[in-house]
Each structure stands twice: as C-alpha cells, then as structure tokens.
Amino acid sequence: MKHDLIILGGGPAGLAAAIAAYDAGLRDILIVERDKELGGILNQCIHNGFGLHTFKEELTGPEYAARFIDGVKARNIPYVLNTMALHVSSDKRVTLMNRTDGVQTVAAGAIVLAMGCRERSRGALNIPGYRPAGIYSAGTAQRLVNIEGYMPGREVVILGSGDIGLIMARRLTLEGAKVKVVAELMPYSGGLKRNIVQCLDDYGIPLKLSHTVVDIRGRKRVEGVTIAAVDERNRPIPGTEEDYDCDTLLLSCGLIPENELSREMGVSINPITNGPVVNESLETSIPGVFAAGNVLHVHDLVDFVSEEAAAAGAAAAAYVQAGCADVARREIPVSFEGGVRYTVPCSIDPAFVKDALTVRFRVGGVMKNRIVSVLLDGEQAVKKRRQIMAPGEMEEVRLTREMFDRHPDLREIRIKVEEA
C-alpha cells in the first residue's frame, strides 16, 4: 500500500498540514493519530485564548481544534485513530500498528512529521527525595482535571513557569485548591507574560524566580517540599531554604519535541531545539520529509503551529506533484548573533521562496530596547525595534521575495540583535 502523503500526528500541526496539502491539489493523504480522537493536546486545553491570530476571535482549545477537524472531514481526508507509528525508514516506509489491522507497512511519497512534544519528567530533573504519590507533570494534571474529572491534590507547589504550569495554577485555584508558590529555576519565566498576569498575579500566587525544589518530603504521599534560591550557575544557595506543606508537586519544566522516529530514520536534529534541521520549505535533511509544529521547535501559540504546518503541507504537496524527484538546491545557512539561540528555518534557498518567508527564532535571555536586523550579504533588509524580548516568547522576521531579488548572488543571511 502507498499514499502520496502520510502525516504523522493528528493534532493542530497535522490537521493544518493535511488541509493545506489538500487545498494545494493533493488527494491521496493519510493522517495517522495514536489517540482515540483527532485534536491532540488541544482537547484538554479548555481555557480560552486560542485563535486570535488565525480566526481573529478567542476560542478554547477544543473549539480551535474543531475548526480544523471539521475542515479535514469536509474534505474527506482519510485518517486512522488508535494507531502507532512504530518505525519510519529513510526511504519513507512507515510501519503502523493498531488493534484492527495489526502491523502493516505503508509507503509514502512524502511525509510530514507532526508528532508534537512531551513534558520533561522528574527523572530528567534530578530532584532529591523519596518517590511518593502526588508528583505530576503539569500536562498530566491538566488531563486529570479537564478530561478525567479528578483533582490531583488540594495543596500544590509548582516547579517551573512554563505556560502549562501557569495555566494549571489558575485552573486548580478555580477548582478549590491552594497553589502556594510557583518556583522557577531561571531568572526569568518560561511562559508568556499574559499568562503570568492572568494566572498568577490575578490570583495572588507568588512566582519565585531563580528558585528550585531541593527536597521532597513524604513516603507514600507528598507531604511537603523545600525550595531554595540558586546562584548564577543554578546551584542551590545554603541558608535560603523555604519549606512548604503540600500534597502535590506539579512539574512544568520544559517540553521536548517527540523525535525518536525522526532520529531513527536519519533526520538531522538541531541540538538546540531537539527538532529537525529544516530549510525554507520546512523540509528536513531527508528529501520529501517535512516537519512542523512542536516536533520541529516548541511554540508559544498554536496559531503559529497552524501557520507553519500549512506551509509544510503545501510544500509536501508540491514535492509530490513534482514527481518526488530530488532537485538541485543552493543552501544558504541562516547565521545569527546577539543572543539568538536558533532560527527556523536553518537554511534558505531563495529560489524556493514565493511571496514571503517567516523566519522564527528565540533569544537566550531577557533583553530590553533592542534592534533586530536581517542582513543579506551585509546589507540591512529588515530592521525592527523590540522594547523587550524574552525566551518564553517567539520572535519572527519576514523576508519578502523582493528582498531576495535584490541579491541574485546571495551568499550570506544573518540575523543580528543589538542594543538600540
């Protein structure tokens, strides 16, 4: 069996990619989703705030997902649920397994990787103490409350200020729990500023930056935690310990793109994002394999996931329609300086840029009053002033076709951040 396009993941990225590929003229598409329904993580995100960029209105997570699910169904795009992708080979053969069909291998003309991301677990954090009940990732707690209808606890401490942790601080408070403190290892929050205001400040929940958990008390169930301030090397400072009695510890300490399948098939991985290295078409190091959404790099807004995935879906359709043939490319790496940690894409061939190209990036620390420039062979093509930039919020610059046309022999693309 073979499909022109197989999309691994039926969350917001996979759905947007499928719709864009269909609208670009591709018809033989298959979406593979391991859960029992489409929509991905949005199904448990019942708070509002989604869709302001995409639909110009405020939606909940399920409402946002429903717009794309309805779009997939209206186009009669095939999808399979409760199906795991066990292996993807470099020649784009996907091994799938479910209870109905067992194990089967399906070939693809092109593949879009849209598997999303997972939370960093306690085992990756090296927190000392016992292993009692009552320690949850923020996403697990969100699913328990919003889908399963269970309260994980009544007195809560949260480690990490990622957006899911901030949102769960508010959610648990609304359900009657007491969130005593949010501790963040870094000197800045990992979440959006609006979530700090709406989820912590509005409910009087303290946020302690440059703090971490140094001990967990309790044998069978969490009875309390100890947090301490950390120095510039993130080492606990003796004498700064604070004890909090609690029955629950939530971990919101970062997200990791789900790229085990990508690595196994030989896709080059960016060590900073832990996602694939991609070009302007969001194509990985393997021709015909594209990536988008949180499997590529962790996003702050789902609207950007959908926008990015639509570009990947359209590019995958163009690849198939061109006969899945390898084409000559002129890879120009995107270099950066001034505190930029990474860019997506990592390289650009101007010949494949149509009207415009959005380059997204994150900075490594809080920066105020900066100028962001894009230099094409040393000539400033883009200049924008940013009053404040932070690691928790995505930055972007837009490069137009006209900019590239002015540099037919382009050799260098550089993003520069400097003081205003």
Calculate mean pLDDT across residues 248-270.
Answer: 95
Q: Which tokens in the block code for residue 60?
A: 């909940």
- At residue 324, the pLDDT reads 85
Comparing CA positions, the residue from 96, 77, 93 lying closest to residue 85 is: 96
Q: Do residues 272 and 364 make contact, with C-beta atoms less than 8 angstroms apart?
A: no
Query: Given the structure tokens 């832990």, which residue do they identify?
Result: 274
Distance between CA atoms of residues 207 and 166, nearest Å: 10
Q: Do residues 394 and 300 make contact, with C-beta atoms less than 8 angstroms apart?
A: yes
Statement: residue 161 has pLDDT above 90: yes
Residue 370 CA, distance from chain mean position: 25
- At residue 115, the pLDDT reads 97
Quickly state the pLDDT bin for 414 (edges 50, 70, 90). very high
State percent of the chain over pLDDT 70. Answer: 99
Give one DSSP letter per residue of 340-370, joined into a string. EEEEESSEE-GGG--SEEEEEEEESS-EEEE
- At residue 395, the pLDDT reads 95
Give one DSSP letter per residue of 293-330, joined into a string. GGGTS--S-HHHHHHHHHHHHHHHHHHHHTTS------
- 278 or 1, which is more confident: 278
- 128 or 83, which is more confident: 83
**pTM for the whole structure:** 0.94
Statement: residue 130 has pLDDT above 90: no
Statement: residue 394 has pLDDT above 90: yes
Out of 35-44, 51-60, 127-136, 146-155, which region has the weakest mean confidence (pLDDT)? 127-136
Statement: residue 368 has pLDDT above 90: yes
Statement: residue 123 has pLDDT above 80: no
- At residue 45, the pLDDT reads 96
Statement: residue 124 has pLDDT above 70: no
Out of 7-16, 116-125, 324-333, 360-369, which region has the weakest mean confidence (pLDDT)? 116-125
Within 8 A by CB and 6+ apart from 126, the residues are none
Give one DSSP letter per residue of 186-241, joined into a string. SSS-SS-HHHIIIIIGGGT--EEETEEEEEEE-SSB--EEEEEEB-TTS-B-TT--
Q: For 371-384, how does the pLDDT look when each residue is reduced to its tens digit (9 = 90+)? A: 999 999 999 999 99
- At residue 128, the pLDDT reads 75
Q: For 214-237, how does the pLDDT look when each residue is reduced to its tens digit (9 = 90+)? A: 999 999 999 999 999 999 999 999
Q: What is the mean pLDDT of the chain?
A: 95
Calculate mean pLDDT across residues 325-341.
Answer: 92
Quickly state the pLDDT bin for 167 (edges 50, 70, 90). very high
Q: For 62-71, how does the pLDDT look when each residue is reduced to its tens digit (9 = 90+)? A: 999 999 999 9
Statement: residue 367 has pLDDT above 80: yes
- At residue 328, the pLDDT reads 85
Quickly state the pLDDT bin for 325 (edges 50, 70, 90). confident
How many CA atoms within 13 Å lie on the side-chain side of 63?
A: 13
Q: Dihedral sign, CA of 30, 36, 38, 41?
A: negative
Calculate mean pLDDT across residues 160-179.
Answer: 96
ω into 276 cis (within 30 of 0): no
Quickly state the pLDDT bin for 420 (edges 50, 70, 90). confident
> Strand 367-376 vs strand 2-8: parallel, antiparallel, or unpaired?
unpaired
Quickly state the pLDDT bin for 251 (edges 50, 70, 90). very high
Task: Return the SS3 of 247.
Answer: coil
CA angle 356, 359, 360 (to 5 degrees): 145
Quickly state the pLDDT bin for 1 (edges 50, 70, 90). confident
Task: Return the SS3 of 250.
Answer: strand
